[in-house]
Amino acid sequence: MTELPRGLTVRRDAGLYGYERALRRAGLEPVAGVDEAGRGACAGPLVAAAVILPDGRRGQVPGLADSKLLTARARERCYEQVLLRAAAWSVVVIEPEECDRLGMHVANLEALRRCTALLDVRPAYVLTDGFPVDGLQAPGLAVWKGDRVAACIAAASVVAKVTRDRIMGELHERYPVYDFATHKGYITETHTAALRQHGPCEIHRRRFVNVRRVEGASLTVAGTGLDDNGADEPDNDPVTERDPGNDHGLLQAGDLESVR
């Protein structure tokens, strides 16, 4: 679904919690928000999160905003508040090799579906950031710049971003020459220089043109998930998920549990 239910409107000045309030008035609750971090990076995992915020004051998260608009310190504070206040939340991590096999668009959709399915409270409605996602097991709405106008999406963006940044900090310890702690796997001048000098490591995404070309001694700064013919075709291999409380160890499909 790409429109609000018939008769339901959200004012432009309704504030960050306007979508949730409108949907609750229509009897559509709980409302989940989903978002991802790391889609445009050429190294490291893709991380998606789903969050359900409760109604009332408990669901009012201090300092909540789109994760990209917050400082690292503010994101950490907001992250702790989201986990403290959320009625339910979940995280899915898709490893770089799975991003390569699925293609980034398919991997992104699959991650958003999986984190919604992992919620231990079933949502009545799901808000997604920017584009529709089918297979969410609940009706939903794609909200343009949703992480700036819908609280549950903003909360999911914070959880996904902080989780991924922490993972990239750990990967920096393993691969210090790439400075992952600073650029988090996105292309910067220092990352480009490190790729030229050292070549890609095992957490670089080979489907990104800039990574593949460095192996042939030719590098472009602008990364893309498309192959040389502009194709980004999915594979049928399943994504892998990490348990954020278990040293980021891989979970098998039969071991999946909701993460609160």
**Are the C-beta atoms of 140 and 33 separated by less than 8 Å?**
no
For residue 145, with 0-12 CB atoms within 10 Å meaning exposed, 13-18 middle and 19 or more buried, which class applies?
exposed
Q: Does 120 appear as a known binding residue?
A: no
Reply yes or no: is the peptide bond before residue 62 cis, omega within 30 of 0: no
Which amino acid type is present at position 244? P
Do residues 50 and 90 touch, judged by C-beta distance below 8 A?
Answer: yes
Q: Tokens 């030229």 — which residue? A: 196
- Is 129 annotated as belonging to a binding site? yes
Query: 220, exposed or middle or buried, with CB in 10 Å at 0-12, 13-18, 19+?
Result: middle
Name 126's bridge partners: 32, 140
Looking from the CA of 220 toward its CB, the CA atoms found within 13 Å total 10
Annotated binding site: 35-36, 129
Annotated binding site for a divalent metal cation: 35-36, 129
